[in-house]
Structure 1
Amino acid sequence: MINANIYEEMKKALEKEIHQHNFAGQNVSIRCKALSAVEAIGKPEHDDYPIIKGKEVMVEAVFNGARGQAFTDAFENTDYRVEDLLNLDLDSNSKRASFISGLNAIFRYLNLCDKTVHCKDAEPKQCSEKLFEKIESGKKVLLVGHQPRFLEVLASKCNVRAVDLDKDNIGKEFFGVVIEPPEMTSEALAWCDLIFATGSTVVNGTITNFLNKDKPVLFYGVTISAPATILNLNTYCQCGH
């Protein structure tokens, strides 16, 4: 069973590593900055990804050369010492984005997780083409977060429902699937065989909606890398770096 306050659990795991490796007090900063769409995802074949449409940004933290990223709709460009992350009030998407990207960078530096940097160019499509190595065709899948390549592939062989926070997507049909509002999440959870959720739920604070639901859950993307290691979550990220 996962601790109800997963952010405190992540802070405790980070604090353990900071003390164990003597990072506290060092003159080392975590620089959190928002990347441009090209920096984050390159130039993929399709232009319907949220980051290209300006709906999200990728925040990147760098710790001793190791990079950690997190998708978010709100961000801050700032520097933190590693121990400062432990005292952050994680009461906003921007603060959670800084914390998660920093956590990913530190855990990547320590080789405690991998795939903390987003794939680029043709790789997002290649990642989607490998989905059925992880997800069984014919399943009822709830896609959390409108990731167009994943929706396109899943809709070809599965019964899919999709919920999204972006009001511009809600009510629109993509690949035969109408995007539903977050208010439909509970009903969709009861309906599905599998939850396939964006890792950015750990930044927007909705991740706990999909944990301990007696349904298998698979989180996708680089944002969830270190949190998944700490919380023992199943992940999908075939082409991350």
Structure 2
Amino acid sequence: MTINDIYIQLKEALKSEIVRHDLADKRIDIKCKPLSVEEAIGTPEHDDYPIVKGKEVMMAATFNRASGQSFTDEYTDISLSVEGLLETDHTKTNERAIFIAGLNAVYRSLQLCEKTIHCKDKEPVACAENLIEQPQFSGKKILLVGLQPRFLEYLVKQNTVRVLDLDPDNVGTEKFGVRIESGEYFRDGLDWCDMIFATGSTIVNGTITHFLNCGKPAVFFGVTISAPAKILGLSSYCHCGH
């Protein structure tokens, strides 16, 4: 399945909901804008998250007072209709970020998904603490795709972990005793691991295709993947999202 195939499926699902709920003739603006660090994640106890370091931004879309978000490293400030989401160019990262934020907002407003708003303040730590209480994340060789520092900090307590990341400033550094590897080594990582724990923003940057139907169980984390996980039937984790 290519990234094009995935976005065609997501857009078809959204189109069906537009028809089902009679939204086609309504001009409903979805305003997408990048959030500040405080708006996105509050004041967490640690400053090593990608959004705090300025490596990512969070897009926020609002539809009928429901909010949807997506993480990305490329963004555009835009206002468009629900139907306009179907016209976004899913070959471009910044427009994929807009589409996913809008999709999450629309699906949240229709009560088709939940946890579309990022956790804040002390909640990222609580999310990581809850993670290691789940049996599926115990005693495994886990490929963590996208450096989420708190997840890594807690996962290494009871698992063997390898981390892949696209940020060149992270690659080659060591966090919690684990050397951060380049995302280009995903095939070797897939051969090595028992399971994949990947950031949901892979659906925005397009690398999600590496981890679907690869023969290894995959769980995608975070608010970005909320509606897409429902549509595509993916396993997801977002304990403290709102």
- Once the 2 structures are TM-superposed, how far is the Cα of residue 22 of structure 1 from its aligned partner? 1.1
CA distance in 2, matches of 1:4, 1:32: 22
The letter for the 1-side match of 2:204 is V
Matching residue of 1:159:
160
Q: What does 1:168-187 correspond to in 2, within 5 Å? A: 168-187=169-188
When the two chains are superposed, the root-mean-square deviation of aligned CA atoms in Å is 1.3
Counterparts of 1:99 and 1:27, CA distance in 2: 17
Per the alignment, residue 140 of structure 2 pairs with 139
Counterpart in the other structure of 2:52 = 52
Counterparts of 1:208 and 1:183 in 2: how far apart (Å)?
13
- Could you say what secondary structure the match of 2:102 adopts? helix
In structure 2, runs of 5+ residues without a counterpart are: none
- Tell me, yes or no, if structure 1 residue 41 matches structure 2 residue 73: no
CA shift at 1:133, angstroms? 3.0
Output the amino acid matched with 2:226. S
TM-score w.r.t. length of structure 2: 0.97
Q: How many residues align?
A: 241
More off after superposition, 69-78 vs 131-140: 131-140
Structure 2 counterpart of 1:80: 80
Work out whether 1:117 is the aligned partner of 2:117. Answer: yes
Q: What is the one-letter code of the residue matched to 2:120?
A: K
Matches of 1:213 and 1:91, distance apart in 2: 23
- The SS at the match of 2:86 is helix
Contact 1:2 1:212 in 2 (8 A): no
- Equivalent-residue separation in structure 1 for 2:102 and 2:22 (angstroms): 17
3-state SS of 1:213 partner = coil
Question: Residue 27 of structure 1: CA displacement?
Answer: 2.1
What is the aligned partner in structure 2 of residue 9 from structure 1? Answer: 9
Q: How many angstroms apart in 2 are the aligned matches of 1:113 and 1:193?
A: 28
Partner-residue secondary structure (3-state), 2:9: helix
Identity of counterpart residues, as a percentage? 58
Q: CA deviation at 1:25?
A: 2.3
Alpha-carbon displacement from aligned partner over 1:46-80 (angstroms, at most 9, x marks no partner) = 00000000000000000010000000001111101
Give yes or no for the alignment of 1:194 onto 2:195: yes
User: Alpha-carbon deviations, 1:175-209, whole Å to 9, x = none?
Assistant: 00000001211000110001000000000011111
Counterpart of 1:68 in structure 2 is 68
- Specify the alignment match of 1:219 in structure 2: 220
Q: Distance in 1 between matches of 2:224 and 2:59?
A: 10
Residue 129 (structure 2) pairs with residue 129 (structure 1) = yes
Which residue is 2:95 aligned to?
95
In 1, Cα distance between equivalents of 2:101 and 2:84: 13
In the alignment, the residues of structure 2 paired with residue 38 and residue 91 of structure 1 have an alpha-carbon distance, to the nearest angstrom, of 30
CA-CA distance at 1:2 after TM superposition: 9.6
Q: Which TM-score applies when normalising by structure 1? A: 0.98
Give 1:4 deviation, angstroms: 7.1
CA contact (8 A) 2:70 2:100 kept: yes
Contact 2:68 2:102 in 1 (8 A): yes
Unaligned runs of 5+ in 1: none
For the 8 Å contact 1:115–1:237, the answer to whether it is kept is yes
Paired residue type of 2:107: F
Question: What corresponds to 2:231 in structure 1?
Answer: 230
